[in-house]
Structure 1
């Protein structure tokens, strides 16, 4: 009988609810990664783009731009 304790039996695999638990885990991981990548994109790309647009329009003079285009002959009516 001492040899029986040395040999362990493999437990049966859990098959009931396996798909549901796998879907829950994968959905949680996917949503977490999507949220992290969304925040990272906003911080790295979105905020930099907003800063560049603000800088451009801070120094932009529409009248000066119009006069340059008019002198080049880009408008037929002017």
Structure 2
């Protein structure tokens, strides 16, 4: 069976993410939502049959993108 591997965009920032999650409930919620949306998109994109409308898929992609931007802002602030 050919298993597709998921890519973790923030793999190199694990330590910063753990610290931010423990110090900020807001960051914890944002990062949890990002992980959930990423998981859903991975399943949608790799499903053998996909009956979801394109506009729904696009909306999930856009939401994930906004969360990703916010996470990057948090990580950049944590670096300075």
TM-score range, shorter chain: 0.3 to 0.5
The TM-score normalised by the length of structure 1 is 0.35
The TM-score normalised by the length of structure 2 is 0.34
